[in-house]
Structure 1
């Protein structure tokens, strides 16, 4: 076999000739003259050390080696075009892989919302989701094992730029037969000394600080029977009738059969559940910038408190 290499252009010319079974028609299709086309095919045959076409005065047809090369060449050219398209899309921020870390409370509404939008708007981007606590997410961002984080506001400065991404008001979750539900209007004072499910300061720290700080500042002291980390556990305990809870509005999506969600007279501008967007350090590539911008456009209109008109 010759030491010459096979060029993609030779394979393209070969495929057209094989499809047309005519050098004349193939040359027209390729917008070249017939002699250089014939030379390209002859050089390809020389490089491969085998004849690819049986030629007669009337027609040409593929040899067994030519039929095999047609299959391989078609596959090579298809994969080459796919690779080139993927590279161009990646350069424009339209393809690639993004690893998103998120705190568990974001999984109820925020993560489904943004992953749906990413699939609709950027279908060639592979999204890897990773559930993290805020401190863990910051460490992974700093180490480069996450590209983007949707986290709570940390107690200490993370050394990363943070921007508020999402806010939602709190509502009341109560067992279906709870006496409070008989009231036409439920007020904050109604929670004083009532059996209550709260958030753990150790694991559900952000929500614990927000809810407890808000109630304490207004002199409201519910009878907290349990303090747990995750919203799913809060909702399960409410569903079993242990008490009521103040939960972010999105928790209504995971309410169980024995749970009723009710609005309560709370100032949304003072009590809201917030999520923050953090990007890994260093200059982000176009793909990460585009994904972050899409997420901002999807979620930031919901930020509380709303500007005064």
Structure 2
């Protein structure tokens, strides 16, 4: 071997050779290191010799029974040992991610679903995968779809879209708009209609499905109070400020003691809720586990289930 190491571009160092070197340096014996690596001693010696040939320096002073690092070998060990440990740690972390026991899951969801159904789903998901970090964005449906298309999130949970070629939609259940009021409220005397809402102070969410349905079914209806969050609307109803219109999917997150909800008839009062992901995307194990949990916990909608069976 020459006195100088080969140029970095010519090196062909293998992980197995570095592992053999570190084991021999720690044990002081090729025989012990070979046994730990589960190879024969001649095969082990070949790996060390190939490593020395490649870097152009002697790493060990050898006797028949022991080996001792040269000065250059000691310097090499100080550099290589922590790198190998970091590689093992990285491998372990990546293996955990691949197995779905670590990493992070990014998703975007409608606020009503985040407030209600997804709270229960995430509770079970976190109990099964405590090492996983979940990043959830609460957005209107258009923003949910856009986040999925851009790849900002792996999954979206929202309402059915109109044939976007870049996004796959997996239906789960139908969501209904409902009127929420105290149980003994006069609104529930007789049939539930949009016209009856003219007679009571109405609390609405600033944007979303209730706003669209109101424009289509009762365009002249003017809310008494407009708020941003479902929890605020429910609190106001509970305190006698009026009645509110909410998606039924959000009621899972609402304390309905002393409250009652009934479905509204009319146009745009129903929507299909499902999972959105990029077309032809391969979902991670974490995303697939989340979708499976969502399917188990989501309300059973036999119409949706039947339709899905017919397509398969």
- Give the TM-score normalised by the residue count of structure 1: 0.66
Q: Deviations over 1:90-141 (max 9, x none)?
A: 8xx8887654221111111233333344445567776442222112223343
Mean Cα deviation higher: 1-10 or 94-103: 94-103
Contact 1:166 / 1:276 at 8 angstroms: preserved in 2? yes
Please name the residue that 2:37 is paired with: 30
- Give 3-state SS (helix, strand or coil) of 1:245's partner: strand
- Give 3-state SS (helix, strand or coil) of 2:23's partner: helix
1:8 Cα deviation from its structure 2 partner: 1.0
Tell me if 1:40 matches 2:47. Answer: yes
Tell me if 1:81 matches 2:106. Answer: no
Matches within 5 A, 1:152-167: 152-153=159-160, 158=164, 160-167=167-174
Query: Which one of the candidate residues 63, 75, 90 is aligned to 1:65?
Result: 75
Please name the residue that 2:230 is paired with: 231
* Structure 1 pair 98–188 and aligned structure 2 pair: CA distance change class (3 A): farther
Contact 1:10 / 1:40 at 8 angstroms: preserved in 2? yes
* Structure 1 pair 296–239 and aligned structure 2 pair: CA distance change class (3 A): closer
- Give 3-state SS (helix, strand or coil) of 1:130's partner: strand
Please name the residue that 1:275 is paired with: 273
Contact 1:17 / 1:23 at 8 angstroms: preserved in 2? yes
* Structure 1 pair 195–147 and aligned structure 2 pair: CA distance change class (3 A): same
1:263 Cα deviation from its structure 2 partner: 3.3
1:5 Cα deviation from its structure 2 partner: 3.3
* Structure 1 pair 188–232 and aligned structure 2 pair: CA distance change class (3 A): farther
Matches within 5 A, 1:179-194: 180=184, 187-188=189-190, 192=196
- The answer for unaligned runs of 5 or more in structure 1 is 217-221
* Structure 1 pair 291–209 and aligned structure 2 pair: CA distance change class (3 A): same
Contact 1:166 / 1:275 at 8 angstroms: preserved in 2? yes
Contact 2:106 / 2:154 at 8 angstroms: preserved in 1? yes
Q: d(CA) in 1 for partners of 2:90 and 2:277?
A: 33
Tell me if 1:151 matches 2:158. Answer: yes
1:47 Cα deviation from its structure 2 partner: 4.0
Contact 1:166 / 1:299 at 8 angstroms: preserved in 2? no
Matches within 5 A, 1:213-228: 224-228=223-227
- Give the TM-score normalised by the residue count of structure 2: 0.66
Q: Deviations over 1:223-272 (max 9, x none)?
A: 952344541331243255312335437446355xxx954235x4699977
Contact 2:28 / 2:67 at 8 angstroms: preserved in 1? yes
- Give 3-state SS (helix, strand or coil) of 2:224's partner: strand
Q: d(CA) in 2 for partners of 1:23 and 1:75?
A: 21
Please, what is the CA RMSD of the aligned residues?
A: 4.6
* Structure 1 pair 194–21 and aligned structure 2 pair: CA distance change class (3 A): farther
Q: Deviations over 1:183-224 (max 9, x none)?
A: 9xx655599465333435x713x134558989x8xxxxx995
Tell me if 1:133 matches 2:140. Answer: yes
- Give 3-state SS (helix, strand or coil) of 1:237's partner: helix
- Give 3-state SS (helix, strand or coil) of 1:285's partner: coil
- Give 3-state SS (helix, strand or coil) of 2:24's partner: helix
